[in-house]
Structure 1
Amino acid sequence: MHDWKSELDALVAETMAFAKSLKVEIERPRPPPKEAVDRGSLSVADYGGSERDEIRKRVESFKAHQERFMREREEYADSLLRRIRPIT
Structure 2
Amino acid sequence: NESTVLRGGYSFTEQPIPSSEVLFNILAPGVIEQTVTLGLSRTLSQKLTLNVALMHGFSNTVSGPNPLDPFETIDLEMNQWEGDISISWKL
Q: For the superposition of Structure 1 and Structure 2, which TM-score range results when normalised by the shorter chain?
A: under 0.3
For normalisation by structure 2, the TM-score amounts to 0.18
- Flag the structure with higher helix content: 1
For normalisation by structure 1, the TM-score amounts to 0.18
- Flag the structure with higher strand content: 2
Q: Which has the higher contact order (CA 8 A, sep 6+)?
A: 2
Task: Compare CA radii of gyration and give the structure with the larger one.
Answer: 1
